[in-house]
Amino acid sequence: MGKTKKDRISQRKETTLNKLKGLGQTIIDDVHEKKIPSLKIPSRGTSNLVYDKDKRYYVLGDRYGKRSLGNVKQIRKIGQMMYVSNFCKNLVQIEKTATLREMYYVSEGWGMSFANQQESNVLAEDLEVTISSSREDLGLMPEEDGASVYGNIILKEGDVEINGLRSGKSGYTISPTIDEVEFIDCDVKRVIAVETMGMFHRMVQEKAHDKFDTIIVGLKGQPARATRRFLKRVNQELKLPVYICNDGDPWGFHIAMVIISGSAKLAHVNHDLATPDAKFLGVTATDIVKYDLPTDNLKEIDVLRLKELLKDPRYKDKIWQLEIKKMLKIGKKAEQQAFSKYGLEYVVDTYFPEKLDAIEN
Amino acid sequence: MGKTKKDRISQRKETTLNKLKGLGQTIIDDVHEKKIPSLKIPSRGTSNLVYDKDKRYYVLGDRYGKRSLGNVKQIRKIGQMMYVSNFCKNLVQIEKTATLREMYYVSEGWGMSFANQQESNVLAEDLEVTISSSREDLGLMPEEDGASVYGNIILKEGDVEINGLRSGKSGYTISPTIDEVEFIDCDVKRVIAVETMGMFHRMVQEKAHDKFDTIIVGLKGQPARATRRFLKRVNQELKLPVYICNDGDPWGFHIAMVIISGSAKLAHVNHDLATPDAKFLGVTATDIVKYDLPTDNLKEIDVLRLKELLKDPRYKDKIWQLEIKKMLKIGKKAEQQAFSKYGLEYVVDTYFPEKLDAIEN
């Protein structure tokens, strides 16, 4: 399936190492040339966030800040960045990872430690954006688990082959180091991601993987970065359509939208995370009416959030505008599990086939 | 390994079905005998919670409430319990499960629906306690995932064999239906459970499973019921010592204590969930001083909680009393990841060997 794992992983690793070495070299060169060493750090402020209509996700604009050893306030920050870069270089070389929390504690030994973890987290982001590598490439891992995956896919982590149909009822858990995972074989037509593990287990029990020839992904709410990377990779590398099936409320909409168009906060890594061709297949205001679903009234905070989404460039499509306005009009929201009103099997036997048919034909 | 899976599972299933049928029969018998049908429901109020010193966990006392069809306020509740019982009987027979949320929505079709999910959750607990079966035996599943398991253990779910060393870096995820899982083979000396997935991944990377001949369990904070059941089963069925390695703060202590001695809220199922022989191997106040760990000051809420724990019968042991008082005295707490101060490997290379040696020898 395309490039072999060794190629791809060793290439990512080499690229990252070269970028880290290059960063240090900039400082050394400045010293040799008797210039005051400085670094250019792309700005992550809201004024530098640009929604790229062609790419269909947020990217960073071209504004940047400069940190100079000539500015006494910035000396410490540059020193910290050198330490963090060196720490990451070591991680990549020995093929280990650390959590941001671990790095924060490790920094206690640097004599240039951080006031709190927030400060070291921000510095890790500074480094990501400065050398344009993702945190994961730098060996810095999130704490949280990735999504659960069930279905006819075979993956390889190191020398371990994993069969998505034979990992237990809760499926394969996406590794934080998902870029090191190789897709060995996959014989399905699509990927359906659902918001809750309740719905994931329903799909597995009703054999949705067979019925819809699909991989089932249990997002566990707002998906981890590794999950978003996994969805992008199956979409790009395996050419599979990805459907996001969430609750019918502004939070469900936005969980899907972050998978599709990336988040503003992570504009510098959206090229690795966003899956612009993924489609929302969750509960809409139209579904709420059509299927006469049990609902809850929209709360004030739901209404505010829906109004925000209306103005968000990621929701500019006509269908989103219609559905959001319709939800505001009916004043109701509904969860995906609400289809159980018609029996546990209904969501797989009736609802999903109708939705898939509408979107694919 | 002891009873075969078929024996054990079909026995649990039959027992549950008989209890559910028995419950309905009580009502029918009353009608035939021209008595006003009523049910006895053990009380779950705090005044009926008893800490059993021999069993070393909370159990329910012998107080109960009576619900009678002769009381107009109780008719609806009895009707709902019959519907829920019937729903569960069906689940057990067709070998499916449902979430509490799904049951709530299904109840919309009963003509005897609940005001909100809180009400249907409580009724499910009423049923658990009335027939003394766990929710899982009734087919009612929690939403949340179980813990992650890594190490030399082979399990069987249905006809799928799962190798805890070959399920990927994030390990095998404990299924909500853990009682249907069979232990096929397990060649280790102990089980070490850690609070965070950050520590889980550290242990896996440093090959703690080899070094300590252990299964590694990533609890993900407060463990799910399925995780507690898994730990009890490996302790009882595989005769493995279980160590709980959490952060050094009142919340870390109590996560361990709920695994060891059960929770008060679930007194009616603690016999299935509590592992009284499990041992706390996490960060203590003594460790904080001995290893000169990076700390945070205790917050007011930490101090309050520690003082509560001092009075809790589950913490009556001398060592707990000493450690809690010591923590109050030094006024500091520390996370397990704080050992990274001495390098990423330190926790596995130095700290755990010293702790294991102290507790086992």
Q: Which of A318, A243, A314, A241 is nearest to A279 (CA)?
A: A243
Is B197 touching A (CB cutoff 8 A)?
Answer: yes
> What is the 3-state composition of chain B as percent helix, strand, coil, each rounded to the nearest 5?
50, 20, 30
Tell me if the pTM is above 0.80.
yes
Please determine, for residue A351, whether its predicted confidence score (pLDDT) is greater than 80.
Answer: yes
Rounded mean pLDDT, B230-242: 97
At residue B6, the pLDDT reads 65
Please determine, for residue B1, whether its predicted confidence score (pLDDT) is greater than 70.
Answer: no
Q: Which of the residues A209, A219, A341 would you substitute to probe the B interface, choosing the one with the greatest number of B C-beta atoms within 10 Å?
A: A341
User: Between A318-330 and A300-311, two packed helices, what is the crossing angle to 10 degrees?
Assistant: 160
Rounded mean pLDDT, A258-270: 91
Is A205 touching B (CB cutoff 8 A)?
Answer: yes
Rounded mean pLDDT, A102-115: 90
Rounded mean pLDDT, A283-301: 97
Q: What is the dihedral of CA B323, B327, B329, B331, to 10 degrees?
A: 180
Rounded mean pLDDT, B30-58: 92
Dist CA A108 CA B149 (whole Å): 31
Q: Which of the residues B103, B201, B202 would you substitute to probe the A interface, choosing the one with the greatest number of A C-beta atoms within 10 Å?
A: B201
What does pLDDT average to over chain A? 94
Q: Residue B175 and residue A155: Cβ atoms within 8 Å?
A: no
Is B108 touching A (CB cutoff 8 A)?
Answer: yes
Q: Residue A102 and residue B202: Cβ atoms within 8 Å?
A: yes
Rounded mean pLDDT, A261-270: 90
Dist CA A120 CA A104 (whole Å): 6
Vertex B12: Cα angle to B10 and B14 (nearest 5): 65
Is B221 touching A (CB cutoff 8 A)?
Answer: no
Please determine, for residue A8, whether its predicted confidence score (pLDDT) is greater than 80.
Answer: no
Q: Is A54 exposed, middle or buried (0-12, 13-18, 19+ CB in 10 A)?
A: exposed
How many CB pairs below 8 A link A and B?
A: 153
CB distance A296 to A312 below 8 Å: no
At residue A124, the pLDDT reads 94
Rounded mean pLDDT, B240-245: 98
Whole-Å CA distances, B268 to A33, A38, B16, B273, B338? 75, 65, 15, 10, 37
Q: Residue A145 and residue B106: Cβ atoms within 8 Å?
A: no
At residue A3, the pLDDT reads 57
The C-alpha of B316 sits at a distance from chain A's nearest C-alpha, in angstroms, of 33
Beta bridge partners of B334: B248
What does pLDDT average to over chain B? 94
Is B105 touching A (CB cutoff 8 A)?
Answer: yes
Vertex B214: Cα angle to B208 and B218 (nearest 5): 75
Cβ-nearest to B108 among A181, A201, A294: A294
Beta bridge partners of A162: A155
Is B30 touching A (CB cutoff 8 A)?
Answer: no
Please, what sign has the CA dihedral across residues B168, B171, B176, B180? positive
Classify domain A5-141 at the CATH class level. mainly alpha
Q: Which of the residues B182, B337, B351 would you substitute to probe the A interface, choosing the one with the greatest number of A C-beta atoms within 10 Å?
A: B337
Q: Residue B174 and residue A171: Cβ atoms within 8 Å?
A: no
Catalytic positions of A:
105
At residue B111, the pLDDT reads 83
Q: How confident is the model at residue B142 (pLDDT cuts 50, 70, 90)?
A: confident
Encode pLDDT of A25-39 as tens digits. 999 999 999 999 999
Please determine, for residue A2, whether its predicted confidence score (pLDDT) is greater than 70.
Answer: no
Rounded mean pLDDT, A145-171: 95
Q: Which amino acid is at A172?
A: Y
Q: How confident is the model at residue A145 (pLDDT cuts 50, 70, 90)?
A: confident
Please determine, for residue A5, whether its predicted confidence score (pLDDT) is greater than 80.
Answer: no
Task: Express as a percent the part of chain A with pLDDT over 70.
Answer: 98
Encode pLDDT of A162-211 as tens digits. 999 999 999 999 999 899 899 999 999 999 999 999 999 999 999 999 99
Q: Give the position of tokens 């779950």.
A: B44
Cα B353 versus chain centre, distance: 27
Tokens of A203: 């799909």
Encode pLDDT of B104-141 as tens digits. 999 988 888 899 999 999 999 999 999 999 999 999 98
At residue B45, the pLDDT reads 86
Q: Residue B341 and residue A106: Cβ atoms within 8 Å?
A: yes
- The CATH T-level fold of domain A148-360 is Dna Topoisomerase Vi A Subunit; Chain: A, domain 2 (3.40.1360)
Cβ-nearest to B143 among A158, A197, A342: A197
Beta bridge partners of A247: none
Q: Which residues of B touch A171 (CB under 8 A)?
A: 173
Residue of B nearest to A96 (CA): B205
Q: Which residues of A touch B176 (CB under 8 A)?
A: 169-170, 201
Whole-Å CA distances, B146 to A106, A237, B224? 30, 31, 6
Please determine, for residue A158, whether its predicted confidence score (pLDDT) is greater than 60.
Answer: yes
Dist CA B211 CA B203 (whole Å): 10
Domain spans of chain B, in order of start: 5-141, 187-360
Encode pLDDT of B159-212 as tens digits. 999 999 999 999 999 999 899 899 999 999 999 999 999 999 999 999 999 999
Encode pLDDT of B288-313 as tens digits. 999 999 999 999 999 999 999 999 99
Please determine, for residue A125, whether its predicted confidence score (pLDDT) is greater than 70.
Answer: yes
Beta bridge partners of A333: A296
Please determine, for residue B3, whether its predicted confidence score (pLDDT) is greater than 70.
Answer: no
Is A117 touching B (CB cutoff 8 A)?
Answer: no
User: Between A250-261 and A225-237, two packed helices, what is the crossing angle to 10 degrees?
Assistant: 60
Please determine, for residue B97, whether its predicted confidence score (pLDDT) is greater than 90.
Answer: yes
Is A111 touching B (CB cutoff 8 A)?
Answer: no
Catalytic positions of B:
105
Cα A231 versus chain centre, distance: 8
Rounded mean pLDDT, B76-85: 95
CATH topology match: B5-141 vs B187-360: no
CATH architecture under which domain B187-360 falls:
3-Layer(aba) Sandwich (3.40)
At residue A6, the pLDDT reads 66
At residue A142, the pLDDT reads 79
